[in-house]
Structure 1
Amino acid sequence: MAEDEEFSLFAEEVKGIRPLKKTEVYLGKKQGETDFQARQKAALEGKFEDKNYLSKDYVERVDPNDMLEFKRSGVQDGVFKRLRQGKYGVESRLDLHRRTVEEARREVFQFTQDCMNHDIRVGIIVHGKGDRTPENQATLKSYINKWLRDIDEVMAFHSAQRYHGGLGAVYVLFKKSEKARLENWERHQKR
């Protein structure tokens, strides 16, 4: 095809197209914000979001009076029973009263990371029952039920005993760290 023919075809295709006015173009930045500030803000937000994989989507609602319980395969029945009965010492606590779902999402993720970094085996998350919200939604309780199942480091969880918050709190059993596993293995090898 000759150059003139190509140009004619191109001209035919773009016939009727008009240039956009500056007011019609979205540049992706706020008034007074420089490109550098916008990029830095996006990078910081993106970096934070990439790490926290907990869902913000709709979750199946639980009733304020439902008992929460979950156990991964491999967790012994006796260990789960002791967790359920509140017989393990609670080493760490997170209180989510008056938190939004997004705040709770960030705090639960950080709480899990902190517990793993400090070799904490049992923690408690106080989420409230949600029976004082409009229509008894139990929103945070529902999200906790979903999030804890999605976190690989959580081996089991169960609604707490009355003296620890009852149906408004949950005991969480975390995976042993590699360091704790090795120490446990060495202790049993010496017997």
Structure 2
Amino acid sequence: MKSHDQSNAFSEAMSDVTPLKQDDKVWPSSGDKDSLAKRLKREALERQQQEDANYLRVEAVDPIDPYDFICFKKDGVQEGVYKNLRTGKYPIDTVINLRQQSYDKARQALFEQLRLAHERGIRTLLVHHGLGLQAKPFPGVLKSYVNQWLRQMPEVIAFHTALKAHGGQGATYVLLQKNTVQKQTNRERHAKR
């Protein structure tokens, strides 16, 4: 009986209450939370735009032993040019140091610095990636990704593990193709012959 009495008391207390009208509008939360949400959304969009420009794949990679040599040469690269690269005979115009960087930072740094070097007309550079003996999830993970990423970049026409004097298996020589200005200069020079 108590529950019946309580139900009646509740009904009597609520008799003059009218239901609220349904409103389809979504009202913003408090100012601090709103500005934080907007800032986080803006930062996420900026990150996504930067990543969209960076086409270097991040899917699974074929693991490479930290002590393995890595090498690559596109079709059309003369054997003598490739030999000079792998024997360290070209002057190193710039160095990209990826050691001790997180995976994401290394990926972004390689992408940005290599493209900038190409725009500036740099032809030969050295990438320090280290051996990564203690790397997780497997030893040499960054070296494995560098091997994959360099193959994906159209500016790269060849690369080879560096000589011991330049970092050995923890570094890689990279040869870039000529940029548009260098190609035009080369065409003009050969047209005069």
1:122 to 121, 124, 130: 124
The ranges of structure 1 where at least 4 consecutive aligned residues each deviate by more than 6 angstroms after the TM superposition are none
Q: Distance in 2 between matches of 1:145 and 1:110?
A: 16
Deviations 1:55-95 (A, max 9, x none): 22221100011000001111111111110111111101011
Q: 3-state DSSP class of the match of 1:110?
A: helix
Larger radius of gyration: 2
Identity %: 38
Q: How does 1:27-42 map to 2 (within 5 A)?
A: 32-34=33-35, 36-42=38-44
How many aligned residue pairs are there?
162
1:57 is aligned to 59
| C-alpha deviation, 1:133, in angstroms | 4.0
Unaligned runs of 5+ in 2: 1-27
Call closer, same or farther: CA 1:133–1:43 in 2, change over 3 Å.
closer
Letter in 1 for 2:154: D
Question: Does the 8 Å CA contact 1:84/1:159 hold for their aligned counterparts?
Answer: yes
- The separation in 1 between residues aligned to 2:131 and 2:138, in whole angstroms, is 9
Question: Which AA in structure 1 matches 2:108?
Answer: R
- What's the TM-score once normalised by structure 2's chain length? 0.77
Displacement, 1:144?
0.3
Give RMSD over aligned pairs.
Answer: 2.0
Match of residue 191 from structure 2: 189
- Please list the CA deviations of residues 150-189 of structure 1 after superposition, one character each: whole Å capped at 9, or x if unmatched: 1111101000011111111000011101110111222233
Determine the C-alpha separation between the residues in 2 that align with 1:109 and 1:121: 15
Corresponding residue of 1:139: 141
3-state DSSP of counterpart to 2:33: coil
Instruction: Give the match for residue 90 of structure 1.
Output: 92
